[in-house]
Amino acid sequence: MGETSRERVMVIDDEESVRTIVSLRLKKHGYDCVELADGLRAVHALPSSRFDAVIADINMPYMRGTELLKWAKIADPDLPFIIISGMEELDVVRKTLKDGAFDFLVKPLDFTVLENTVKRAIEHGRAARSQREEQKGLQRLVEQQTQELHRALEEIERTYDATILALGSALETRDTETQAHGLRVAKYTRMLAVSIGMTDPKALTDIERGAYLHDIGKIGVPDHILRKAAPLTPEEWQIMKSHPEIGLRMVAKIGFLKGAVPIIWCHHEHVDGRGYPRGLKGDEIPVEARLFAVADALDALISERPYRPPVPLGSARHIIHGEAGKQFDAVVAAALARISDEEILEVAGMSDMPFGGTEGSPA
């Protein structure tokens, strides 16, 4: 140990002669030593100053060295603790080392061994503290990077939503009722999903996005068919019925919209098999599309149309219930009954709704 080293060692022993000679030997090697007569005084002294090692006897008044060891390891896990004792019972040695002592030395002390032990203990403590500081630094770095990642993901989600709204606006130029209807039905579909017990945030977001973009394929339908006021001819109807598959082709290769595909592709399927484009039945229809079908019918019924006034909400509920097991999934139709009139009317009355929402709320 060099002459400029000033590591601090606490020496605790109720025998004054022992702690004095131990301190004198260590001071010759450049250590600063603090002498105390019992463990209780050490409890008060340790928090007030930094020590590089502790040497403590086992049998002391007020607090045994083994009790002080446990307390010190809680207060500072990296503080090297050397136990000295006049007894050498193997079970005591084992327990002391298990409790975190760096070493166990038997009286009468071999001071060369003591000095080497203190040196090794301090080096061990310094390395442990350095490692812990590195771990804390890494933890802070991980926390910082995690926060940055969360901010980046939130920005990506905002970009995704902006892209989806832009797609909706593009469709609105072709079909003037689409965006307002899309926003409302997105909220209703999410509310129904929560009502049947869906909780996964990503699944709920995918459902909301798919519901909003359900008619995106109509971008590929010619204007003279899409905007025709008169009934469509059979040929024109076949073209109109192609919009789910057009929508599928539009979004299938867009990574963040893959979760929207089930609604976009299957939103006109009926549980009795009378829907299109594939005539799926019952559970063959993705649950997302079965949820959407009820939400879409609800919005169509309670919204004003050029050819009719809105249907009262109670009547709309009755109509949908009557189609359970036919056009609509019975479980989803029943889930509609668990959503309050207030929740539904809040969405129905919104003219400027934000895209995205929280579980259980039409926010």
pLDDT on residue 177: 53
Q: Is residue 159 part of a domain?
A: no
Mean pLDDT, range 147-156, rounded to an integer: 75
The pLDDT mean for the chain works out to 86
* Three-class DSSP category at 33: strand
Q: Residue 151 domain-assigned?
A: no
The domain that holds 300 is classified in CATH as: 1.10.3210.10
Q: How many structural domains is the chain composed of?
A: 2
Same domain, 222 and 87: no
Residue 174 — very low, low, confident or very high, per pLDDT cuts 50/70/90? low
Rounded average pLDDT over 232-261: 91
User: Domain end: 139, 157, 187, which one?
Assistant: 139
**Which residue, among 44, 254, 37, 294, has the nearest Cα to 160 in the 3D structure?**
254
- β-bridge mates for residue 81, sequence order: 54
SS3 at position 54? strand
What residue spans of the chain are helical by DSSP H?
A: 16-27, 39-45, 65-75, 90-98, 111-172, 178-195, 201-212, 223-226, 234-240, 243-251, 261-266, 287-302, 313-322, 330-336, 341-348
68-to-43, 61, 73, 79, 284 alpha-carbon distances in Å: 7, 12, 9, 12, 69
Determine contact, residues 105/117, Cβ cutoff 8 Å: yes
Which of 267, 128, 149, 143 shows the shortest CA–CA distance to 209?
267
pLDDT recorded at residue 274: 94
Q: Is 13 helix (H, G, I), strand (E, B) or coil?
A: coil
Nearest to 28 by CA among 11, 5, 53: 5
Q: Assess whether 111 and 180 both reside in one domain.
A: no
Judge if 238 and 344 occupy the same domain: yes
Looking up tokens 């039945």 gives: 281
Which range of residues forms the domain containing residue 27? Answer: 8-139
pLDDT of residue 2: 42
Same domain, 308 and 214: yes
**Could you tell me if 49 and 8 are in contact, meaning their C-beta atoms sit under 8 angstroms apart?**
yes
Query: Is 228 domain-assigned?
Result: yes
| Residue finishing a domain among 139, 158, 192 | 139
Query: Is there a single domain that holds both residue 98 and residue 241?
Result: no
* 76 shares a domain with 12: yes
Residues of the chain with pLDDT > 70, as a percent, come to 91
Q: How many whole angstroms separate alpha carbon 326 and alpha carbon 281?
A: 10
